Structure 1
Amino acid sequence: MNAIDPSLEAAPVADWRSYPIHADLMSLQAASDHIAVTWSDSRVSPFHHQWLRDNCSCSQCVYSVTREQLFEIADAPEPLHPQRTRIDEQGQLLIDWQNGHHSAFHPGWLRAHAYDDASRAERFAQRPQSRLWRAEMAEQLATFDYHAVMNDDATLLQWLLAVRDIGLTQLQGVPTTEDVLPVLATRISFIRESNFGVLFDVQSKADADSNAYTAFNLPLHTDLPTRELQPGLQFLHCLVNNATGGESVFVDGFAIAEALRQETPELFRILCETPVEFRNRSRTSDYHCLASIIALDAYGAVSEIRMGNFLRSAFDAPVAQMPALYSAYRRFIEMTREARFRVQRRLDAGQLWCFDNRRTLHARTEFDPTSGARHFKGCYVDRDELLSRIRVLQR
């Protein structure tokens, strides 16, 4: 391998991250519209001229303070081609373009962004994967100590990774004062406000504007399915729980969706493709959202569940499709009631749930408000903030 300057290997490139060098650039082969790079492990990666020019990170193309791009590919000459290409003594790819512009590409960055089949498959395999769970989660619940999360970044990262990959966690040893939750939530990022406030109190109220603020059994749901973007994370901090009943129930919506995909793929397809309207009306607000119950990401994996029967409007589908829609909807609800998927736990004072609201459906069994006080404090943080905090901690 070439002798690499250690500062080059550790240097951040354009986007605040550092790229270790796993393979050296060994040779270049020119083609009409691309350069084929051969690496020290024999992998060959073609890079098109437009792609290379588009990703130049020099000070003319990327502002060094923000590390955001200034250059737009429409400003490059067409047809675009290099005048000269070479590998320098530090192992970088250097390109002199026909209009006099010069580009240098760090080998670690170039390998990390290579788009040959092997490199893309390698990146795909390294993507975070959801860890699906069923009833056995009750015995394997990801539990963390509040003080460790607040004072140790390594523990904070482990907690956030569990929230990302499992979607259900519990913190223990949380002080039972009302000022604790916002401090904990902002350990991740800023809190998302809704019409229920920055923070909300989950307790029985005579003038309730949501079934959550009653003593009724609350069926499995995601919060705010009536919004274009449902909240990502939900926090529920138990300040006091002396009432009879009121246990928390959870199911992994991703696990149910995948089971539905395997068992009855036609019903799964219907819930992915059929828009359903959710609405939430009160004296001072009126929210509506039309979206599918199951959403898929760009790779076809389940990325979001939207469910709240008590917030659902009448189905609006073509006559011929209505029976099938009801079959799919009934089957999904039936699966959420099956013991194989359900986790049921009581949350006591000093404990806190944090879960992915766009994945983990939650419910509450009925409780007797005359048997004792029950008061949870809640808030939301968007999923994007969780993922951003994870990346910053990791880099």
Structure 2
Amino acid sequence: MNTAAAFADFRTYPLISALAGVQALTDRVMVKWADDRVSPFHHQWLRDNCPCPLCVYTVTREQVLEIVDVEEDLVAAETSVDAQGCLCVAWQDGHRSRFDPGWLRAHAYDDESRTERRASKPQSRLWHGDLPLPVFDYPALMNDNDALLQWLLAVRDIGLTQVRGVPTEPGSLKLIAQRISFIRESNFGVLFNVQSKADADSNAYTAFNLPLHSDLPTRELQPGLQFLHCLVNDAEGGESIFVDGFAIAEALRQEDPEAFQALCEIPVEFRNKDRHSDYRRLAPIIALDACGQVSEIRMANFLRGPFDASVEQMPKLYRAYRRFIAMTREPRFRLMQRLNPGELWCFDNRRTLHARNAFDPGTGARHFQGCYVDRDELLSRILVLQR
């Protein structure tokens, strides 16, 4: 069963275990659950998270209480479990709080609950060159929210998907990208045309091969998702190549910890300069999240400035950088496939590095359209669809 949503949230929370008892101590409340787990909740935490209409605006469900406006030594005068199974706390200053048991269990911070919560969080599914490519149908994604959710989960967890059956009229890409959220505009536009042209302002707009890279590493926040939609592909060559940057980073962590550490700690400057703009960003190639897991790869050799590291660090950086690029060329990691008209790639640009073989524009036309959507929009859309 799901318990009723508290004012502080739009979600409902499953009743994993009912409240079996409560005991008030000097600075906290000890809650015992029906499955014998015991969770302590400090008075400050409970008061800070009171979901009543005086503490949370019921329209936006955002907090209006600031904990500094409550006495620091606030004491629970009375605690109980009511007939609906909710934890009730009467505070010494007269305020009353009532906590939904499903919500309370979902946010409990005893060691067992925190470990359980971390284990239940989505995990990246690392892949190599033999990945069974997740393929989705355009009409289904446009008309069926269940199909849409499955696609977005694959983008989140695997970082590389293909969609087939997409109309080949220019601008069609915008419709499917907007099924997730709004498109992130860049100096290349809302939709950008990937074609060979004489006055190119990026190597992407030539017939050259492009080495494995992430787009816009020159920005403070690289775009989260990249879409590449094939309208025409009659030219010889131009196959798409992908590697899972997270898988390479984890392999590097195991096989060469010193190189891994260097790429996590020594920043590199990336530059994107043309006639009208000049973007620069100094950041490590591998970024870790608060739990030490790889959260981002920042890489584009053709947009890299000269290394600026200490005399002691410079040899370490070059050795690590060479090792990382060499690993991206290993067949075990590489997936290569030609994209046909009416097909598109959607991938996590901060994880999945992409490349393109050189092509011969003399053998036929090649026209892709691309766009970006931030990773935050993907995650938000998933949560809304799930609830």
Same fold (TM over 0.5): yes
Cα pair 1:13 1:109 within 8 Å, conserved: no
Q: 1:328 aligns with which of 302, 320, 324?
A: 320
Q: 1:256 aligns with which of 237, 248, 262?
A: 248
Q: 1:32 aligns with which of 26, 33, 46?
A: 26
Percent identity among equivalent residues? 71
For residue 14 of structure 2, give the secondary structure of its aligned residue in structure 1. coil
Deviation string, structure 1 residues 225-263 (Cα, Å, up to 9, x no partner)? 000000000000000000000000000000000000000
Q: Distance in 2 between matches of 1:335 and 1:11?
A: 48
Q: CA deviation at 1:284?
A: 0.3
Do structure 1's residue 380 and structure 2's residue 382 form an aligned pair?
Answer: no
Do structure 1's residue 55 and structure 2's residue 49 form an aligned pair?
Answer: yes
Q: 2:196 aligns with which of 197, 204, 217?
A: 204
Q: 1:95 aligns with which of 89, 96, 114?
A: 89
Q: CA deviation at 1:74?
A: 0.3
Distance 1:12 1:143, change over 3 A: farther
Alignment of 1:269-284 (within 5 A): 269-284=261-276
Q: Distance in 2 between matches of 1:11 and 1:96?
A: 21
Q: Distance in 2 between matches of 1:210 and 1:240?
A: 20
Cα pair 2:6 2:103 within 8 Å, conserved: no
Q: 2:36 aligns with which of 31, 38, 42?
A: 42
Deviation string, structure 1 residues 365-390 (Cα, Å, up to 9, x no partner)? 00000100000000000000000000
Q: 1:166 aligns with which of 133, 143, 158?
A: 158
Q: 1:285 aligns with which of 273, 277, 280?
A: 277
Report how many residues are paired.
Answer: 387
Q: Distance in 2 between matches of 1:171 and 1:286?
A: 34
Do structure 1's residue 65 and structure 2's residue 62 form an aligned pair?
Answer: no
- Equivalent residue for 2:124? 130
Amino acid at match of 1:153: N
Amino acid at match of 1:280: N
For residue 279 of structure 1, give the secondary structure of its aligned residue in structure 2. strand
- Equivalent residue for 2:68? 74
Given the two structures, how large is their TM-score scaled by the length of structure 2? Answer: 0.99
Do structure 1's residue 243 and structure 2's residue 235 form an aligned pair?
Answer: yes
- Equivalent residue for 1:345? 337
- Equivalent residue for 1:309? 301
Q: Distance in 1 between matches of 2:76 and 2:308?
A: 57
Q: CA deviation at 1:12?
A: 4.7
Structure 2 unmatched runs, 5+: none
Deviation string, structure 1 residues 38-77 (Cα, Å, up to 9, x no partner)? 0000000000000000000100000000000000110001
Q: Distance in 2 between matches of 1:197 and 1:149?
A: 25
Aligned CA RMSD, in angstroms, stands at: 0.9
Q: CA deviation at 1:320?
A: 1.2
Structure 1 unmatched runs, 5+: 1-5
Deviation string, structure 1 residues 3-42 (Cα, Å, up to 9, x no partner)? xxx8x82335411000121111111122111011000000
- Equivalent residue for 1:180? 172
Amino acid at match of 1:323: P
Q: Distance in 1 between matches of 2:336 and 2:15?
A: 47
For residue 16 of structure 2, give the secondary structure of its aligned residue in structure 1. coil
Q: Distance in 2 between matches of 1:235 and 1:32?
A: 56
For residue 259 of structure 1, give the secondary structure of its aligned residue in structure 2. helix
Q: Distance in 1 between matches of 2:14 and 2:351?
A: 34
Following TM superposition, the consecutive aligned residue runs of length 4 or more in structure 1 with deviations greater than 3 angstroms are 10-13
Q: Distance in 2 between matches of 1:251 and 1:54?
A: 45
For residue 114 of structure 1, give the secondary structure of its aligned residue in structure 2. coil
- Equivalent residue for 2:3? 9
Alignment of 1:110-149 (within 5 A): 110-137=104-131, 140-149=132-141
Cα pair 1:249 1:344 within 8 Å, conserved: yes
Amino acid at match of 1:274: I
Cα pair 1:10 1:20 within 8 Å, conserved: no
Cα pair 2:7 2:56 within 8 Å, conserved: no
175-184 or 218-227: bigger deviation: 175-184
- Equivalent residue for 1:362? 354
Q: CA deviation at 1:80?
A: 1.1
